[in-house]
Amino acid sequence: MYGEWKRAVRVTLVAGLALLGGCTTYVQTQVAAFSDWSGSDATRTYAFARSAQQQNSIEQKTYEALAANELATHSFKQVPDASAHYRVELSYSIRGDMVTVRQPVYYDPWPMYGGWYGRPYGWGGYGPWGGWDMGPAGYVDQSYPIFVHSLQIRMTERDSGREVYKVSASNSGGESSLVRAMPYLIRSALADFPLDNGTVRTVKIPLDKNGGASNEAPVAVGTNGKATAPAPVPAPAPVPVQ
């Protein structure tokens, strides 16, 4: 029962807390896209547009560099604003929250005998089939901090101001730094560009052995729970994080 509970909790945490403390092998991101895209490769020139608060932001420049690397894999070329066909706007946020998980409690009332005698009372007493019942002695609620990371990428035509593409990506977990989450958000948001209008899906990006984004392509999980096969997308340039 304890093993089954551990597996169930692990599945839950992998699905909902994708960046929690190294317990997963991938990052799972929720993506939603709205599209009126009709551009060709010849018109895929762009410049980043910034809000007043973003004008002199080093953080903004860092995220723009990540986005530029990913956009380049879809034939986008960054040019001066005056000659750009599109403007690309980035908006992002991070917020903290708490999650509570109910965990079983196991104790040994006879610790002086060690593991050889088992855990008779702490494990629920003598069972009906001639062995000790392996149930927990009780349950306790444990609370953990989680952080929700969000990104929106908006594309408009520079001349007309018409919105042609908007995609939002979000994931959550124990990672308290937005800069560490941003490569996964950007890769997930722009994977398989352009998505159909009204697309909602989950994208999984594997971690490499050092905990960073691997070179494997993002995998989109369909509504039937099965993975779809996207075109290979190179990983963005790594961002040094202290």
* Model pLDDT for residues 189-215, shown as the tens digit of each residue: 999 999 999 999 999 998 865 555 655
**pLDDT over 70 (residue 80):** yes
**pLDDT over 50 (residue 231):** no
Q: Which of 74-88, 93-107, 130-144 ranks highest by mean pLDDT?
A: 74-88
The residues with which 89 forms a beta bridge, in sequence order, are 49, 154
Q: 2-105+146-228: which CATH topology?
A: Double Stranded RNA Binding Domain (3.30.160)
Please report the pLDDT score of residue 106 as a whole number.
76
Q: Which of 7-11, 131-135, 196-200 ranks highest by mean pLDDT?
A: 196-200
**pLDDT over 80 (residue 90):** yes
Higher pLDDT, 153 or 138: 153
- Segments making up each domain of the chain, as ranges: 2-105+146-228
